[in-house]
Structure 1
Amino acid sequence: MNGGDPPFAQRIAQVSESHTTRIFTRAQQMRARGRDIISLAVGEPDFDTPAPILHATARALADGRTRYGPVAGEPGLRERLAAGFEGFSADRILVTNGAKQALFSLFQVLCDSGDEVILPRPCWVSFTEQIQLAGARPVLVDTDAGFQLDPDRIAKAVTPRTRAILINSPNNPTGAVYGADALAAVAAIAAEQRVWLIADEAYHVFTYGDRPHVPVLGLSPAPDGVITVRSFSKQFNMTGFRIGYVAAAPSVIQALTRLQSHTTGNVCTFAQYGALAALEMDPALIDRRRVALRRRRDLALGLARALFTCAGAQGAFYIFADVSAHLRAGQSSADLALRLLDAAGVAVVPGEAFHGPGHIRISYGCDSATLGRAFARIKEGIKEGL
């Protein structure tokens, strides 16, 4: 065709590539060329997927669970998930292709063009892009110096165009676990203003004693206005299975199911049987992994604080380190992240990806020995001026 390719839709031109994907891809390319790269960039602990999950998935394959299933999810899995929420039944659960698809679909069914969604900042990389793909506008509201919610700022950000407030605790990228008082205050704001309150709780099992995870659903004066999104990916090391779910009022689930019937249809049938097995496992396994992650958190936080200023880190498996003191004039944390990768062979994610400039996100999902080697490289690189 003369003049080049036909044009793309404006909506995709407005969406940025994921910084996490960009760093991960570059690290993989460097590894392929023989470089020894330590990745502290990927939000995925190095634990194996538990054997009962693998066995149940293989059994489902052997039993012929390979055909289309119900769009909203296998009935047994929906019932089991509903049992985790007081007073819920299966019609309040939708199984999705990971939490990421759940959130994307939510913005599609909740938002019209020009609507607004309030996001505490820093925030996960895909929130803003997914909101924009729905034709809506992300409204970023700063957290405090410890990355905790500021209900007053959130209240002031509400306008007649506000459709939802999104809360992510434990938080990616900061590791902050939001306090019950602040969560209750935000839940009250959402109820009073009659806007949806979306709780992204993908990391809900990973807190380390400093502050427990508090489900916002139990704090809201209008629980049918709360939408909870969770995932099997982090909790059970099932990232490749792509199993997430939404717990919400039946009307929300019906709207999401209608959309999902035209997008993905059902989630992978046999993978859902692996998810069902995950829910029947001895909780002690997750407890042991939480203990291991806490040890890694303590090690990584100590090493990070010897180099940077760090707040948050009460949950998930991230440290959001303030590296502004180590930035050269005119440079960003994205520049520092590239220098760390190229010069020190350590991959981290720049804070710009999360609307938190001057920071880097460090994942402590790898083993303690690897963490020690990574921070030794970072320390040496900073000492030499990178």
Structure 2
Amino acid sequence: MISAAPHLADRLKQVSESRTTRISTLAQTLRRQGRDIISLAVGEPDFPTPEPIIDATQRALADQQTRYGPVPGEPILREQLAEAFASFGYDRDNILVTNGAKQALYSLFQVLCDPGDEVILTRPCWVSFTEQIKLAGATPVLVEAAADFQLDPECIARAVTARTCAILVNSPNNPTGAIYEPSALAETARLAADRGIYLISDEAYHAFTYDGREHHMVLASSPDPRRVITVRSFSKHFNMTGFRLGYVAADKAIVLALARLQSHLTGNVCSFAQYGALAALRMDPAIVAQRRAALQNRRDTAEALVRTLFPCSHGAGAFYLFPDVNACLRAGETSEDLAERLLNRAGVAVVPGEAFHGPGHIRISYGIDETLLRRAFKNIKEVL
């Protein structure tokens, strides 16, 4: 007897698998087969989690901080997070702790979007943005970036319709490493305020700006801060990717709505992990500064090596480069085909641009040791 295929909800048919996860899985499979694979695909620098975070998490476990906690997050952690937004009048009730920035964004689209609504975002963009918007029953509206992958407020303004409920910006940017100019962010914030649209600012990489540049908070640019929602993460900032900790800073009405959803979705975030996050906020800032300096050195190395092979915009932040590989594609080949060729023949994992709605490019993460970086590019050059 042949069993029928299981019925799955129609909403899942609209959503594709994360291509970053797919490439990582392929690389892991080849490693298990004995292949020497260098990964430039994973958005995770190779630094260890700082000791103060590990120590605080272990203490919280020893102190039995293992019970259900408040859905919005531990009050002491939310109070500490609110300090970064104190100039805007925020307190702990403006903060919601989430299971990573990814869950924060998913929940935001569920809370803000009705079926048929539209969310405007600039391409290329992170892989999960468009899929999360679709899962909320809304439509992602992709607009083109300006030169060097910069934000284009005029292009965004032309895309606004009566169905637009939010504009999403991501700076420093994944996958391009671009840092949006403050003037463009301010113009976009004014547009959102004038049209009564929410502006979601994904600032997961806010700690990683190079060449002396400062991170610019979108919230500071808006004539109506109630319309700005900031999403941040502990994952990249403090090398806590496995902790799954992020947070939302927003108007209290938005935080209340998110907490209502989270009460049914996950309940509280892991209790003892939040004490590790608290220690991260309180530890010596020099630890993050040293890692930022190390990543800038790696960026300089990677950018010089990339440009011997492909045209590439300057990566001013995050830890990614997004070179144009069109000249290296064979007839009929896509950047996804090239990524598989590099994985199989060069033993180097990169993410194809199609994953980010940026065909003809690949994303390179330079969060690994410089010796490995140099070897990876040597292998790529030999294959090309």
Fold agreement, TM-score > 0.5: yes
Tell me, yes or no, if the aligned pair for 2:124 and 2:357 is still in contact at 8 Å.
yes
Looking at structure 2, the residues matched to 139 and 270 of structure 1 have their Cα atoms a distance apart, in angstroms, of 39
User: What's the secondary structure of 1:68's corresponding residue?
Assistant: coil
TM-score (norm 1): 0.98
Amino acid at match of 1:105: S
Query: Which amino acid in 2 is paired with 1:349?
Result: V
Which residue in 1 is equivalent to 2:98? 96
Task: Tell me, in whole angstroms, the C-alpha distance in 2 between the residues paired with 1:212 and 1:79.
Answer: 24
Indicate which of 149, 163, 180 corresponds to 1:178: 180
| Equivalence for 2:36 | 36
Q: Is 2:65 aligned against 1:53?
A: no
Partner letter of residue 249 of structure 1?
Answer: D
Letter in 2 for 1:305: R
Q: How does 1:1-386 map to 2 (within 5 A)?
A: 4-85=4-85, 86=87, 87-209=89-211, 211-382=213-384
Deviations 1:345-385 (A, max 9, x none): 00000000000000000000001101000010011111xxx
- 1:312 shift after superposition: 3.9
Unaligned runs of 5+ in 2: none
Distance 1:154 1:6 in 2: 41
Q: Match of 1:321, SS?
A: coil
Q: Which runs of 5+ in 1 are unaligned?
A: none
- Hey, what's the Cα distance between the residues in 2 that align with 1:3 and 1:208? 56
Structure 1 counterpart SS, 2:339: helix
| Deviation readout 1:170-228 (Å, 9 max, x if unpaired) | 00000000000000000011001100000000000101026432110000001010000
Say how many residue pairs are matched. 382
Whole-angstrom CA distance in 2 between matches of 1:212 and 1:4: 57
Greater Cα shift, 203-212 or 296-305 = 203-212
- Whether the 8 Å contact between 1:168 and 1:201 is mirrored in structure 2 is yes
Residue-by-residue CA offset, 1:42-63 (whole Å, 9 max, x unaligned):
0000000000000000000000
1:68-96 CA deviation, whole Å, 9 max, x = no partner? 00000000000000011122100000000
> How far 1:330 sits from its partner (Å)?
1.1
The separation in 1 between residues aligned to 2:96 and 2:269, in whole angstroms, is: 10
User: What is the CA deviation profile of residues 141-173 of structure 1, one whole-angstrom value per residue up to 9, with x for unaligned ones?
Assistant: 000120001110000000000000000000000
TM-score by length of 2: 0.98
Q: Secondary structure at the match of 2:84?
A: coil
SS at match of 1:286: helix
In structure 2, distance between residues paired with 1:220 and 1:351 = 32
Once the 2 structures are TM-superposed, how far is the Cα of residue 5 of structure 1 from its aligned partner? Answer: 2.8
2:147 partner amino acid: A
Q: CA deviation at 1:114?
A: 0.3
**Distance in structure 2 (CA, Å) of the matches to 1:325 and 1:143:** 21
3-state secondary structure, aligned to 2:67: coil
Task: Report if the CA contact (8 A) 1:177-1:212 is conserved.
Answer: no
Aligned 8 A contact 1:178 1:213 in 2: no
Rounded Cα–Cα distance in structure 2 between residues aligned with 1:249 and 1:287: 30
2:209 partner SS = coil
Letter in 2 for 1:57: T
Aligned AA (1:235): H
The alpha-carbon deviation at position 110 of structure 1 amounts to 0.1
Runs of 4+ in 1 over 2 A off after TM superposition: none
Amino acid at match of 2:280: A
- Alpha-carbon distance between aligned partners in 2 of 1:262 and 1:289, rounded to the nearest angstrom: 37
- Cα distance in 1, alignment partners of residues 125 and 251 from structure 2: 25
CA RMSD of aligned residues (A): 0.9
Match of 1:59, SS state, is: helix
